[in-house]
Structure 1
Amino acid sequence: MGSVSVILKITTAGMFTDYPIPNQYPSVAGLTLGADGNLWFLESQGGAPVTTGARDVNQSIVAEVSPSGRFSEYPLATSFMTPSAMTTGPDCNLWIADVGTNDVVRISNGTANRYQIPTPNSDPTAIVSGADGNLWLAESDAGRIARVTTSGNITEFPTPDGSEPWGIASGPDGNLWVSASQRMLPGGPGEVFKMTTSGAFTSYPIPSAKRLASQELLRDPRPGMITPGPDGNLWFIALNNLDRITTSGVITQFLIPPLANDTGSSLGSIVSGPADSMSYIGESTSSAREQPMVGSLT
């Protein structure tokens, strides 16, 4: 039986509510809190939709879900090859990183404006609004962090030692925080960078990930997405770990239990949710969960 894409909401009292995504696409990513208070995310075919209906099998979707679980979906033009990440910009527009076309895309009033990334095949995996009023982009294959102005001007900064950035967040200290893997150490636990908006980096190594019983033989993965939490810290994903890093660089790891009938798939997108919770998406199960900040991460 195939996986089913759902949004799972959990209250701080531990009550779950399932909201099945209306049209099933196997790839769900790019979770972001919109200026309207709804959660926005990307759905793409990853080969073909689970259920096609009258849709174009090569089409990707921008979708939103309200706090009450009401979904709306907006098909993207077929010129979007592989949208990989999305954020709400300082201009209140949605900004999308498109791996397939190596573009950064601004969606404004339903119109897509494209800006080519200078380094070819850069693999843009994450995008975020910075405290300086610009967008910031993680380029995994290029080993660079890019600054994107709201008018589309792009400046790139190489990461230390060519490390591969995966996620990027704007921290409460005004700096950028980047989850990355060390290119020279494939399969290593990775690191988190603090980056100033002028391009200075500080590195914090990530401890080896905690594991479920089914994951004992897995090597440490590169860390996933990173986001600021309502507690003033940064939170990121590694394997089935939800990790917290303070702005002084102290890392604490929490092992996330799997969903029912799941052996513990890797987790991907993460965003600060309502009521002091963290929302995250399981990459293999295509489900989203909200984890309370207090009382359940032990």
Structure 2
Amino acid sequence: MLTLAGCTGTHRTAVPETSATSATSHPPRTIELPGNSWPRELAMAPDGTLWVVESSIGFLASISPSGRVTQHHLTDALHAPSLDPGYLTIASDGSVWFSCALDIGRITPDGTVRLFHDPPLVYGSPDTITAGSDGSVWYGGTTADGWRLVHITAKLVTSHISVPLHQFGPHITGLAFGPGERLWFTSSPIGNERGEVGYADSHGHTRIWTTDDPFLGPIVPGPDGALWFAERAAIGRITPSGSISYHRAPKMKYTGGLVSGPGNALWFTTSTSLGRITTTGTITLWPIPGARELTDLVYDAHRHGFWVADAEAAVLRWAPLPP
């Protein structure tokens, strides 16, 4: 077991600079963000607060259920002018965890931002991050010697599982727990080699399968017991035993976010549409008015609809649950 550099006396703390940028009595249907923010990932906290990665400006934004936007500036003396967050997740204790080049960060419920440095990682890593049910988090990372899945417990103690991915510099682009508490992952290589999907079990054993496409995105457990993952222009499905199938539809390209949602279905974004795929593989697309480049989505159970991130337009758009 290792302790992350930064968890003891040498840790770096970055105090967030916050400012409310909008407040309404009823949530708006479009939430405007700074023009060059490039909103990338979304996560919904149990209290209804929506969090978004603003990857180009070094902020995380939080949006209250009433629509009030607060900007959390991620910076410190070693990362001036700012960090560039990539992925985020919300732990069971309410802390918001995020990844950025060479660091993992955490915003506690009281608003304190703390950074943890993992020395073996190379620049551009860590990658995607996901939360466990016990207050811990997992993230994917690349080192000079290979790839690993890193576990950080609620007490900030770390361990890792080595993953034998393809040799041409892949990044771990999706993480999710599936049946049997296996941690499933997707990876995308640098270049045109094919992507990979696999899992690590509780004993640290891994299994990996090659996919059709090099560009893989998030992976999520479906209501049918299989794992579903996003490809560049398709949605893939893999059973716990490793049987893979692919599902496509006309005008479906640049699939982004993917979540398990209402209607016993999976929901996703394409470049300008909200998509739904049933467990039998039937796909329906609904164009989002004004959308320019959708990158992620999250289901808001209280309002029965989706928030979608439009990176090119630098806005979050509200999409009611289709009939």
Q: TM-score, normalised by structure 1?
A: 0.69
1:214 corresponds to = none
8 Å CA contact 1:242–1:255 kept in 2: the answer is: yes
Give the C-alpha shift of residue 197 in structure 1: 3.2
1:147 equivalent to 2:151? Answer yes
2:318 corresponds to = none
1:169 equivalent to 2:176? Answer yes
Give the C-alpha shift of residue 292 in structure 1: 4.6
Aligned-partner Cα distance in 2 for 1:62–1:202: 36
Aligned-partner Cα distance in 1 for 2:194–2:134: 30
Per-residue CA deviations over 1:75-116 (Å, capped at 9, x if unaligned) read 1224151111111113222111122xx211111121112211
2:71 corresponds to = 75
Per-residue CA deviations over 1:176-210 (Å, capped at 9, x if unaligned) read 00102467xx422222111013321011222x2xx
Query: How many equivalent residue pairs?
Result: 242
8 Å CA contact 1:131–1:174 kept in 2: the answer is: no
Q: 1:161 to 1:240 in 2, by over 3 A?
A: closer
Aligned-partner Cα distance in 1 for 2:64–2:258: 15
Aligned-partner Cα distance in 2 for 1:202–1:269: 24
Aligned-partner Cα distance in 1 for 2:268–2:216: 14
Which runs of structure 2 are paired with 1:200-279 in the superposition (5 Å)? 200-206=205-211, 208=212, 220-258=213-251, 264=253, 266-279=254-267
Structure 2 letter corresponding to 1:179: T
1:178 corresponds to = 185
1:217 corresponds to = none
Fraction of identical pairs, as percent = 26
- One of 2, 21, 27 as aligned partner of 2:38: 27
Aligned-partner Cα distance in 1 for 2:49–2:274: 15
1:44 equivalent to 2:55? Answer yes
1:289 corresponds to = 274
Give the C-alpha shift of residue 278 in structure 1: 3.1
More displaced 10-residue stretch of structure 1: 80-89 or 118-127: 118-127
Secondary structure of the equivalent of 1:151? coil
Unaligned 5+ segments in structure 2 are: 1-27, 76-81, 285-323
8 Å CA contact 1:117–1:154 kept in 2: the answer is: no
Give the C-alpha shift of residue 129 in structure 1: 1.6
8 Å CA contact 2:134–2:154 kept in 1: the answer is: no
Aligned-partner Cα distance in 2 for 1:25–1:232: 39
Which runs of structure 2 are paired with 1:77-96 in the superposition (5 Å)? 77-79=73-75, 80-96=82-98
Q: 1:270 to 1:149 in 2, by over 3 A?
A: same
1:113 corresponds to = 114
Aligned-partner Cα distance in 2 for 1:39–1:235: 24
- One of 178, 186, 203 as aligned partner of 1:198: 203
Root-mean-square deviation (CA, aligned residues, Å) is 3.0
Unaligned 5+ segments in structure 1 are: 1-17, 46-57, 209-219
Give the C-alpha shift of residue 42 in structure 1: 1.6
Over alpha carbons, which structure has the higher Rg? 2
Secondary structure of the equivalent of 2:247? strand
1:160 equivalent to 2:164? Answer yes
Q: 1:280 to 1:118 in 2, by over 3 A?
A: farther
Give the C-alpha shift of residue 38 in structure 1: 5.7
Give the C-alpha shift of residue 151 in structure 1: 2.7
